[in-house]
Structure 1
Amino acid sequence: MRQDDLYINKIDWITIAIYAALVIIGWFNIYAAVYDEQNVKSIFDLSINSGQQLVRIGTAVLIILLIMVADYRLFENLSWILYLVFLVLLLVTPFIGKEVNGQTLSIGFGAFRIQPSEFAKFTTALALAKFMERPSIDLSQPKYQLQVMFIIFLPALFIMLQPDTGTAMVFSAFFIMLYREGMPQWYYVLGLTFVAISLLALGIENNLYLAIGVGVVIAVLILLGKKRWTRIVGLVVLGLLIVGYTYSLDYVVSKLPEHQQNRIMVLFNPNIDPLGVGWNVTQSKIAIGSGGFLGKGYLEGTQTKFDFVPEQHTDFIFCTLGEEFGWVGSLVVIGLFCGLLMRLVMLAERQKNRFSRVYGYCVVSILFFHFMINIAMTIGLFPVVGIPLPFFSYGGSSLWSFTILLFIFIKLDSHRIQLLGRMG
């Protein structure tokens, strides 16, 4: 058997099939989101979003072919260069980019524009994999913990300057990969604790009650300790931290742009202004709920036809699916995403070197974060932060960046036997 035949046989066609299914279903839903029965246009019409997305899908296919014919070592060798290039692009985007709705996210010439923040996800994944491929990297040591966090949060900081809070949040997903690679568990316990306190602080009007309540719970835990002086010191310090954090959180939120404050308020009180700041989420839930079990039928969604949900072809594309295909259609798509994520975990675990495994888990982390947050956003379980549904939402930068992210890993996986001798 020739080496080329062996390489083809090692490609994970199941993952590619799931990718293709999500892209095609997403394309049909983009057409449904812009369908106008008073002025019917073909799904291939380049003057509407579905036609433009088809061109981007064709470009994505070309990108896939380039990745699959390239030398698999190229991505590892260029890891740091790509990371630095997109750091520079992120840094200059606020100065030379095009401003839309108060955000400067894209750069380019004429009609061709890209969002560097989307591509920075896969370059950061490559940089992390390259850094951690060395056997000496031990995430139980503080110096390595600081170094990986610097790699992760530097592009996130530059993205915040645009400002694009939603995309910057995505970089926290890399902590899923770090957990697999041995990051101490106390980081995650501390992180989840602060998330819980933050949600309570935002949801309870009187922070004093929150501070007292959480303080009592922690006090009980500390009093179960063995040494009295550690219990007393710990109680005082944690009490001050809780009170200080809850009040400082109020200050930070008050400094956010008004639209971001509104999104947080809607999360805890969806009915606060259903015709104003709560409109998107309210209409999104109506659209999904009205689909029932089997949906209203393709191109028959009334919420979709009459444009009740803004940005329905991008961040709220899941609404179209829920309304027209109902619970069954939503379950199928969610099942495809879950199947893809489980498949990628399996592929990551079978890698023969640390670079490929770390990169594989980075892919899983990013896709899981996007999938979870986007759907939670459309059903009112998370603030609206402008995170697209992978392979599904309208947009060139989104589709291309996710395609590159995924197919680099598929390429690495197909060469895992050659990488056996380089195990970390």
Structure 2
Amino acid sequence: MGFEELLDEVGGLGKFQILQMVLGLPSLMIIMCHVLLENFTAAIPDHRCWVPILDNDTVSNNNTGILSPDALLRISIPLDSNLKPEKCHRFLFPQWQLLHLNGTFPNMTDLDTEPCVDGWVYDRSLISSTIITEWDLVCDYQSMKPLVHSLFMAGMLVGGLIYGYLSDRWLVESARWLIITNKPDEGLKELKKVAHINGIKNAEAILNMEGLRAAMQKELEAAQTKTTMFDLLRTPNLRKRTCLLFFVRFANTISYYGTFINIQHFGRDIFLFQVIFGALTSSARVLPLLPLNHMGRRPTQMLFMFPVGLSILANTFVPQEMQTLRVTLASVGMGCVAAATTSTSVHATELFPTLLRAKSAALDMMATWTGAALAPLLMTLVVYLPTLPWIIYGVLPILSGLVVLFQPETRNLPLPDTIQDVENNKKFSRKVNENDSYIEVTKF
């Protein structure tokens, strides 16, 4: 018998566990609000070069009406491949001959142009002001936006490492961790507290030090060995699990944040898209619960990871004008990546022994925020190929889905408590031991 049976005696999933989940949600929601804030504070409005003949205040206030703004724009700003005003160049001199063209567009590559040396004019109809308009982070300075977001994510990583460590002094530790780290008295106290909150009667008769030591003798003996983060890489099976999990979490996080912080890529109405994506990611978190219990951990992760990559890759071939299809594909990807995140979290918890589970969670967090910090930087690759970041966002979750196959399946298996459990591939079903464990527990 082990901790699994003790936990069943105090209520495996009761008021205490539900209360923990509810109390943890507000902090997670606040974090995500900060992460996604740049979708609005760093939104890139339509823009073009400032030109004196059109945007000079003196000219604008004394408009004679001889030439319309559209005509002035035509002779001042070249057109891009989509026949829209260029965002980063203007004609060196007004091209008056363009006024006499009737619906035809000449080859403008022969006309002299220059960068926006006098600044830009922004469309403020949707959002009046962003850091883009304040600091002119467009054209040659467009790489500054992903750099700013990347630095913010890097700060989340550093802050998580520092304050995650400091918080261990005040947060209530799990009973399992307390017992495994040779603090059985405190662990027993926490188990009794859980039993009381869950409404379990006769907890005092069930939970006592003699029964605790008998139930977890092997785990308590293993607790005499001190562990460090390097123990995750010291033995073959743990090293394999650690490296594979790091890649899977890293790859999925890049795709998740790469899509979520660039919703403007899918259309102009970023407010609507934010609501759609937010609702999908919130509701999709519970989708894996059924397949996790019936299909297993590995098939469930693959079931959700592959559609993420395929939807992102498919979107690279859909024209910007087909916004409905683009948003639909992106919505499928966002829902699936949220479900894949839940699946990976469940699997990650079951892969590592209790002695190292907190340290593996810290490593998992490092992989998450490293991927989050790198995701915005990939957008700087658009200067080489506009679709290159999205190809990377799409390929990574497909690769991570394949990598999951190299991890062991953990459905219906007990959580490993020691490094030896992992290295010996401890494989006996939870269900098989339920009757035996009941008999052993009732002894004390």
Alignment TM-score, normalising by the size of structure 2: 0.21
Q: Which has the higher contact order (CA 8 A, sep 6+)?
A: 1
Give the TM-score taking structure 1 as reference length. 0.22
The structure with the largest helix share of the pair is 1
When Rg is computed on C-alpha atoms for both structures, the one with the higher figure is 2
